[in-house]
Amino acid sequence: MIAKIIAAIVLFSPVSRLKSTVAESEIISALRTTASRCGYRLHSGDGSRALKIAKPESGLRRWVINKRSKAMGLFQLKPSTWKHTGTPISKETYRQVEAFLKYIIERYGTLEKAYAFRRKHGWY
């Protein structure tokens, strides 16, 4: 009986909830869409830079929450950062990329500068 219940849960659960990590292509697609909506022109290598920031922050897991700082998601944004960007806190890839990009543009100007800062300091 328990096996049937588990099978039903798996069968009717959204695939994104079952995956432990987000596909890189999903992040890149969300980045392109968000950049276009925000009027930000992506530069060559920006997709790779965003992934290089997200991988050490979360291992590309959208559900990760830092117990100490309460930072969450792919880019480990703190609740205050979410609020500052005006993006509702969400576990959706698109919303996480939106908050990340707004934060990066305001703080660093470009993904290139944000990634350079992260390489130098180990955080961004």
pLDDT in tens, 70-99: 999 999 999 999 999 999 999 999 999 999
Question: Could you tell me the end-to-end alpha-carbon distance of the chain, in angstroms, rounded to an integer?
Answer: 48
Does 2 reside within a domain? no
Contact 54, 124 (CB under 8 A): no
pLDDT confidence of residue 1 = 52
Q: Is the pLDDT of residue 3 over 50?
A: no
The residue range of the domain holding 96 is: 21-121
CATH of residue 44:
1.10.530.10
Structure tokens at 25: 């292509």
Does 74 reside within a domain? yes
In this predicted model, which residue has the larger pLDDT, 85 or 12? 85
Reduced to 3 states, what is the DSSP secondary structure of residue 65?
strand
Structural domain tally of the chain? Answer: 1
pLDDT confidence of residue 20 = 73
pLDDT confidence of residue 112 = 97
pTM: 0.82
